[in-house]
Amino acid sequence: MSPLSLDGPLVTTDWLAERLHHPDLVVLDAGVGQYRSTGPRIPGARAFDIDGELSDPSSPLPHTMPGPEAFTRALRGLGVHDRSTVVVYDSAGIYSSARAWWMLRAMGFDRAAVLDGGLPAWTAAGLPCESAPPSAAPAGTFTAKPRAGLLVDRTAVVGALADPATAVLDARSRERYAGTVEEPRPGLRRGHIPGSANLPFADLQTGGRMRPAGELRTLLAAAAAGRERLVLSCGSGVTACVLALGADLAGYRDVAVYDGSWSEWGLPSGLPAEPGPADR
């Protein structure tokens, strides 16, 4: 059987269906929170558990990137080899699957792609699903090789805000960015990082699929005011990765995701937030 090759960070349902039983393919269900797939799944898919072992248990923040040793252990447990080709999906279309893809990239693994349209597109195409738990995978040989700068902390965000060549983009909804609704996580302030711009992750999609590269470029360029370096934020570092996926498709090459995102910045602290209480 010929080796698998990827043309980019997205694959179609047809591409996946034709290669579903390839020995080098690993399919991972990256559902998270309300979008966690508890029903039918793509045959052979294994759970990339962003709510569990693939989140740093020592961090008080949700969905924090685990260290390289823990990440290596988890991916080997999922049967991923260094030679594997990984396709990730979720049951919302494209939501947390982009986070899994970005985590793999941050750990030095480029043979990964997101299923465009996710499980809804798969089932709409009449492709097979299964409900039985997957059989245990033979241990893989994956080894994390962390790349600096793909996931950044709040200190880097402060630096980015002072850099005229960098745009900080917030992937949350317009209402959350504006602070006109309460945050879904208790204890967080309303509003956004001063100096950031809003580009809701859903704007990069149509019908649960990513928009064409030209449209993505137009949306991102407008939000970033033409700046080519992007630092991306959201609620907990998940949907910021949808922007990262869109940026990759649009040709951006200097992109980082703020891992703590509003779950960290929005905590009561000395970090500034807009609008302030008097502005609401």
CATH of 10-124, one of 3.30.360.10, 3.20.20.140, 3.40.50.300, 3.40.250.10: 3.40.250.10
Q: What are the extents of the domains in the chain?
A: 10-124, 151-279
**Identified catalytic residue from 16, 87, 144, 234:** 234
Query: What's the fold here for domain 151-279?
Result: Oxidized Rhodanese; domain 1 (3.40.250)
pLDDT truncated to tens, each residue of the chain (280 aa)? 777 999 999 999 999 999 999 999 999 999 886 566 567 899 999 999 999 999 999 999 999 999 999 999 999 999 999 999 999 999 999 999 999 999 999 999 999 999 999 999 999 999 999 998 888 889 999 999 999 999 999 999 999 999 999 999 999 999 999 999 999 999 999 999 999 999 999 999 999 999 999 999 999 999 999 999 999 999 999 999 999 999 999 999 999 999 999 999 999 999 999 985 444 3
Do 10-124 and 151-279 fold alike per CATH?
A: yes
241 as an active site residue: the answer is no
DSSP the chain: -PPP--SSSEE-HHHHHHHTT-TTEEEEE---GGG---S-B-TT-EE--TTTTTS-TT-SSTTPPPPHHHHHHHHHHTT--TT-EEEEE-TTSSSSHHHHHHHHHHTT--SEEEETTHHHHHHHTT---B-SPPPPPPP--------TTSEE-HHHHHHHHT-TTEEEEE-S-HHHHHT-S--SSTTPPSSB-TT-EE--GGGGEETTEEPPHHHHHHHHHHHTTT-SEEEEE-SSSSTHHHHHHHHHHTT--EEEEESSHHHHHTSSSSS--BS-GGG-
pTM strictly above 0.85: yes
